[in-house]
Structure 1
Amino acid sequence: MSGFSTKVQEVFNEPACDKNLKKSDKERKKGCSKPLIPGAAAGGCAFDGAKIVLQPIVDAAHLIHGPLACEGNSWDNRHAASSGPLLYRTSFTTDMSELDIVMGNGEKKLWKAIHEVVATHRPPAVFVYSTCVTSLIGDDIEAVCKHATEKLGTPIVPVNAPGFAGSKNLGNKLAGETLYDHVIGTMEPEISTPTDINILGEYNLAGEFWQVKPLFDKLGVRVHCCITGDARYVEVASAHRSKVNMMVCSAALINLARKMEERWGIPYFEGSFYGVSDTSDALRNIAGLLVRQGAPHDLIARTERLIAEEEARVWRRLEPYRERLKGKRVLLYTGGVKSWSVVSALMEVGIEIVDTSLRKTTPEDKARIKELLGDDPHVLENMAPRDMYAFLKEGKADIMLSGGRTQFIALKARTPWLDINQERHDPFAGYDGMVELVKKLDATINNPVWAKVRIPAPWDEAGAPSARDFTIDPTHVARFRKAFAEREAQDFEEC
């Protein structure tokens, strides 16, 4: 475990993270997030974060070395879509039991599981994930994976990210370390062009990457690899030959972007595909960096023409909704890059942001929010459910955009709610995604059901009779008691 501890400390000391550099040595050792609460790690531990990053490599097999519940709690936790292979949807686990742990059968069971997966499915690679239990009992998955790779001739990649190591964000970074150490640079691409790019931190949630890729196709820019949405193992393994990296969420894979620049000279920048202006800026940045890396100089002019055409088209499609949504108030309760990218997208159609959260945001994210909202005080580090309910109940927002965990607070307050987090089924990226987001907002806010559910119940209306207005005649009570006693006596005689 000493090597693993060293790797975790390297991630904590990420030199490309401005927030990390401002910390003292003591604070830096604590990592980036609050300690996990025992019993509440599902959906927030390092193992889950690593699985989120790596599972969208759709043609690989993903084997969990640990108890069955670890796979059950993490499987398919994001709707990362595939355009072909579906092996990543199959759950593989060694299903460690108490007897396996006591008898020390972990490594033997892992070897047998790897052999069975390779023999049955013939994947291009197998990712093997350690968990809390198998790490605590000392199973050496790196040694087993190395032995299996030599014997089977298939890359078996160890993912050392047990849940107790830290938060989901740490797991994201450890997954990036895994790709850097064991995958990227191990294969060469069949085709390489001066306009090859990688997109880091994009997981093709609800097919969002497919809304952006046609834009690059029109420009003649080849997305060599999306790390890791709808990715193939060979694409990831040969990603070191691309010319530019774009990070969709720097908090997740900034360590991978930095190391790829240091080792292979691939420049990177952080951008977003949420909203019209952010999508246009991302295209401009990619074109500019590609030209600096040797792409044809006319790429910049062609990019500007495409942006002008797409923006004109998207604003024509948005025009019918702008009047209906202008001035509508939104409570945005999300995290990370969406805290500012979605703000920008909503403001473009005239929507007012009454509050936005700062959960899981970096100093760069906070700076962008301040740039968009000015010195507006309506930013939240966190909001208790009780306060959120009161805020919505008082009618301070026309709709709440958040994840599924807070939807019932909005519904209890009889306020429209729209899913904006990674569990959603609707793609909101790119120009077309902006239109889809606005359509969903309009359909949700202006749904006639809200006028119905807000009508007071008859017993809540002014002047309606209450329970105190009704009295019971004592003679009726006495008559009922007498009838009940007679019936009870009759039943006793029959028995």
Structure 2
Amino acid sequence: MSLLRAKIQDVFNEPACEQNRGKDAKARKKGCSKPLTPGAAAGGCAFDGAKIVLQPITDVAHLIHAPLACEGNSWDNRGAASSGPTLWRTSFTTDLTELDVVMGQGERKLFKAIREIKEAYGPPAIFVYPTCVTALIGDDIEAVCKRAAEKFGLPVVPVNAPGFVGSKNLGNKLAGQALLDHVIGTVEPDDAGPYDINILGEFNLSGEFWLVKPLLDRLGIRVRACIPGDARYLDVASAHRARAAMMVCSTALINLARKMEQRWDIPFFEGSFYGITDTSEALRQISQLLVKKGADPEMLGRTEALIADEEAIAWKKLAAYRPRLEGKRVLLNTGGVKSWSVVHALMEIGIKIVGTSVKKSTAGDKERIKQILKDDNHMFEQMTPRDLYAMLSEHKADIMLSGGRTQFIALKAKTPWLDINQERQHPYAGYDGMVELVRQIDLAIHNPIWRQVREPAPWDCQPAVREELPSTKSETATLHAVQEFAGTTADDFGEC
């Protein structure tokens, strides 16, 4: 437990984080996350964050040392896609019971589970995750993993990020630390070259990195390791021989990027593949870093030629959507890198941003938003469901882009909604991804269903009044009875 505490404090004191550098020594020890409310999920625990970062390593067996409920529904945890192995989507757990806890059988059961996975699946490595229960009862997973690795002849990696130590973001960083301690640098590649790079914090959601990789291939750039999206264990283990790195989501793996630069002299920058301008800028910075590290300078010219060709194609495709979308208002309820990169991407085609969430954004993310929007009036730290509904029902936005948890707020307000988070079904990265994002926004806004659902319901409408009035008292009484039953009077009915 003391070793875990030391790792957590090391993650809290992150020199590469601008916000952290501005704190005094006492404030750094409290970490970057807001205090958790007892009983609240707070967007995920540290275990959840660690598993999100490591699970997309596709050929590894991910073993949860915990009661069954801690594993839960693991299938397709984050919507990441694999071009090959599917072992990462298989749920492995030691299924610890009350009897195991009382009798102290946890470590023995873990060792047995590692052996069973080795014999049944033969993975290149096994990642072991403790959770709150197994951490609190004191199971020494470091010792068990070390013994199992010696016994079975394969890497068994302890990922010490039990849920109670902090937020999901802290779990992201602890996962990066586990890779540094036990994986990266353990395999020496025999094909290292001057055009090798690492991509950090890219999860290949809906396969969107596959829209970017062909661009890098055309430039002769090889992705040594994409961590974690569609990664293989051996690729990650040999990632220390890359010449440069791009960090896509700084809040998740900033500590990994900084320490790889310190240990192996791999320079990095933070960029985005969302939007035409940001994609072009990312390609330029990758090429510039590689040239500084010894690549042929002619690569810079090839990069500019590629950018010019791809931008011309993308803008030509987007021209058809501009008249339909220019001036449309978007409410963006997300966080992290998407809080500024998607803002920039949408503004490029004339869409107005009426608000963007910065709840999960870093100080650098917020500063970028201010530069893009020219002010901070459209930034909000946290907007409650009631506030979101009020904004949408008052028609202050034409569409909301968010995650699945808030889609029903938009639907209740009879406002178009598009999934922009990890559950999305369409890839939005790169030039082609930007065109797809605009196409999906156009389809959502101009879907004829919204005109239909905004019309009054049939039971709120008054049929055309007949010229002849009721001829008898009974007919008059019947009409009044129907109106009374519906809770209305004749004056309440309107035209439809």
TM-score between the two structures when normalised by the length of structure 1: 0.93
Equivalents in 2 of 1:138, 1:376: separation in Å? Answer: 47
> Are residue 239 (structure 1) and residue 239 (structure 2) matched?
yes
Q: Residue 201 of structure 2 contacts residue 228 of structure 2 at CA under 8 Å; is this kept in 1? A: yes
**How far off is 1:407 after superposition?**
0.3
Q: What is the one-letter code of the residue matched to 2:391? A: F
Equivalents in 1 of 2:137, 2:75: separation in Å? Answer: 24
**How far off is 1:387 after superposition?**
1.2
**How far off is 1:62 after superposition?**
0.3
- Single out whichever of 361-370 and 42-51 deviates more from structure 2: 42-51
Written as runs of structure 1 = structure 2, the 5 A alignment for 1:313-352 is 313-352=313-352
Identity %: 70
Q: Residue 330 of structure 2 contacts residue 354 of structure 2 at CA under 8 Å; is this kept in 1? A: yes
Written as runs of structure 1 = structure 2, the 5 A alignment for 1:186-335 is 186-335=186-335
Equivalents in 2 of 1:64, 1:425: separation in Å? Answer: 28
Q: CA RMSD in A?
A: 1.8
SS in 1 for 2:223: strand
> Are residue 66 (structure 1) and residue 69 (structure 2) matched?
no
**How far off is 1:333 after superposition?**
0.6
Q: Residue 42 of structure 2 contacts residue 167 of structure 2 at CA under 8 Å; is this kept in 1? A: no
> Are residue 13 (structure 1) and residue 23 (structure 2) matched?
no
Question: What residue is the counterpart of 2:395 in the other structure?
Answer: 395
Over 3 Å counting, the alpha-carbon distance change for 1:462 and 1:244 in structure 2 is: farther
**How far off is 1:459 after superposition?**
4.1
**How far off is 1:33 after superposition?**
1.3
Q: Residue 13 of structure 1 contacts residue 20 of structure 1 at CA under 8 Å; is this kept in 2? A: yes
Equivalents in 2 of 1:81, 1:49: separation in Å? Answer: 18
Equivalents in 1 of 2:449, 2:155: separation in Å? Answer: 54
Equivalents in 1 of 2:130, 2:233: separation in Å? Answer: 20
Equivalents in 2 of 1:293, 1:179: separation in Å? Answer: 24
**How far off is 1:390 after superposition?**
1.0
Q: Residue 331 of structure 1 contacts residue 356 of structure 1 at CA under 8 Å; is this kept in 2? A: yes
**How far off is 1:329 after superposition?**
0.4
Q: Residue 50 of structure 1 contacts residue 173 of structure 1 at CA under 8 Å; is this kept in 2? A: yes
> Are residue 439 (structure 1) and residue 439 (structure 2) matched?
yes
Residue 471 (structure 1) aligned to one of 471, 476, 481: 481
Q: Residue 53 of structure 2 contacts residue 228 of structure 2 at CA under 8 Å; is this kept in 1? A: yes
Q: Residue 43 of structure 1 contacts residue 74 of structure 1 at CA under 8 Å; is this kept in 2? A: no
Equivalents in 1 of 2:459, 2:382: separation in Å? Answer: 36
Question: What residue is the counterpart of 1:487 in the other structure?
Answer: none
SS in 2 for 1:230: coil
SS in 1 for 2:279: helix
Question: What residue is the counterpart of 2:139 in the other structure?
Answer: 139
Question: What residue is the counterpart of 2:367 in the other structure?
Answer: 367
Q: Residue 36 of structure 2 contacts residue 42 of structure 2 at CA under 8 Å; is this kept in 1? A: no
Equivalents in 2 of 1:179, 1:226: separation in Å? Answer: 13
**How far off is 1:27 after superposition?**
2.4
Equivalents in 1 of 2:412, 2:222: separation in Å? Answer: 47
**How far off is 1:376 after superposition?**
4.9
**How far off is 1:76 after superposition?**
2.7
Over 3 Å counting, the alpha-carbon distance change for 1:469 and 1:177 in structure 2 is: farther
Equivalents in 1 of 2:58, 2:131: separation in Å? Answer: 21
> Are residue 41 (structure 1) and residue 51 (structure 2) matched?
no
Equivalents in 2 of 1:307, 1:18: separation in Å? Answer: 31
Equivalents in 2 of 1:33, 1:240: separation in Å? Answer: 29
Equivalents in 1 of 2:446, 2:284: separation in Å? Answer: 36
Equivalents in 2 of 1:411, 1:330: separation in Å? Answer: 15
Deviations 1:375-432 (A, max 9, x none): 2511111111111111111111000000001000000000000000111121000001
Equivalents in 2 of 1:431, 1:126: separation in Å? Answer: 36
Question: What residue is the counterpart of 1:183 in the other structure?
Answer: 183
SS in 2 for 1:320: coil
Over 3 Å counting, the alpha-carbon distance change for 1:359 and 1:43 in structure 2 is: closer
Equivalents in 2 of 1:53, 1:381: separation in Å? Answer: 24
Equivalents in 1 of 2:233, 2:288: separation in Å? Answer: 28
Equivalents in 1 of 2:253, 2:377: separation in Å? Answer: 30
**How far off is 1:32 after superposition?**
1.4
Question: What residue is the counterpart of 1:117 in the other structure?
Answer: 117
Q: What is the one-letter code of the residue matched to 1:356? A: T
TM-score between the two structures when normalised by the length of structure 2: 0.93
Q: What is the one-letter code of the residue matched to 2:207? A: G
Equivalents in 2 of 1:42, 1:75: separation in Å? Answer: 22
Equivalents in 2 of 1:75, 1:30: separation in Å? Answer: 34
Q: Residue 36 of structure 1 contacts residue 45 of structure 1 at CA under 8 Å; is this kept in 2? A: no
Q: Residue 78 of structure 1 contacts residue 422 of structure 1 at CA under 8 Å; is this kept in 2? A: yes
Q: What is the one-letter code of the residue matched to 1:156? A: V
Q: Residue 427 of structure 2 contacts residue 436 of structure 2 at CA under 8 Å; is this kept in 1? A: yes
Equivalents in 1 of 2:375, 2:463: separation in Å? Answer: 46
- Single out whichever of 291-300 and 69-78 deviates more from structure 2: 69-78
Question: What residue is the counterpart of 1:418 in the other structure?
Answer: 418
Over 3 Å counting, the alpha-carbon distance change for 1:472 and 1:210 in structure 2 is: closer
Question: What residue is the counterpart of 2:88 in the other structure?
Answer: 88
Question: What residue is the counterpart of 2:474 in the other structure?
Answer: none
Deviations 1:127-168 (A, max 9, x none): 000100000000000000000011111000000000001000
Equivalents in 1 of 2:376, 2:14: separation in Å? Answer: 31
> Are residue 29 (structure 1) and residue 29 (structure 2) matched?
yes
Written as runs of structure 1 = structure 2, the 5 A alignment for 1:158-173 is 158-173=158-173
Q: What is the one-letter code of the residue matched to 2:480? A: F
> Are residue 153 (structure 1) and residue 166 (structure 2) matched?
no
Over 3 Å counting, the alpha-carbon distance change for 1:464 and 1:354 in structure 2 is: farther
**How far off is 1:471 after superposition?**
3.3
Written as runs of structure 1 = structure 2, the 5 A alignment for 1:456-495 is 456-461=456-461, 470-471=480-481
Q: Residue 35 of structure 1 contacts residue 167 of structure 1 at CA under 8 Å; is this kept in 2? A: no
Deviations 1:312-367 (A, max 9, x none): 00011111111110100000110011000000110011100011111111111011
Please, which runs of 5 or more residues in structure 1 have no aligned partner? 474-495
Q: What is the one-letter code of the residue matched to 1:6? A: A
